[in-house]
Amino acid sequence: HGLKVVQGHELANALNELAEDLKARTAGDRKDASPVFLFVHGLHKFKKLKADDDLDFSFSSSDSGPSTASQFTTLVTEGSTQGMHVIATFDTYNNVTRFLSRKLLTEFEMRLVFQMSANDSASLIDNPKAANLGMHRAILHNEQAGSDETFRPYAEPDSAWFEERNA
């Protein structure tokens, strides 16, 4: 896989490319296409990706095509069946609810949560147990399997790792 890092000002062009790729895959023109993974670190920082349901019928969608937010929504909702996957991070549950509609949130089948309030945990993974997590623990919630796995996401690298980096 190739890697392409996109800055905020290049976001619209990158999503246009992904939307065209998704359209080609849906039409069956790219049956042998390799999987695509879109990583969005801090989705709450990209205001252009915020769902704009109340603006869909206004001037936000011009003759130049669909908005960046609607392209992102389409990628999340239809991309996984075509081998295009979105992995996004948020800093708080409040930002999750501001940027993702409840319906769009259900498209994210697997969720990783760290310590948070019982209410936020219950809203995000249908279980308040993230409130009882320690500092270095997380829960991997699989919506489809209906399972939660508590684990320790960080471990100190062994000395060989440090030696390799310093060489």
* One-letter amino acid for residue 66 of the chain: P
Residues with Cβ within 8 Å of residue 152, at least 6 apart in sequence: 136, 137, 138
Which position has the higher pLDDT, 163 or 62? Answer: 163
Residue-wise pLDDT for 77-100, tens only, equals: 999 999 999 999 999 999 999 999
Residue-wise pLDDT for 31-79, tens only, equals: 788 999 999 999 999 988 887 654 544 444 445 678 889 999 999 999 9
Rounded distance, CA 59 to CA 61, Å? 5
Residue-wise pLDDT for 128-157, tens only, equals: 999 999 888 999 999 999 899 999 887 777
Provide the CA 112 distance to its chain's centre, in angstroms: 11
Rounded distance, CA 35 to CA 32, Å? 9
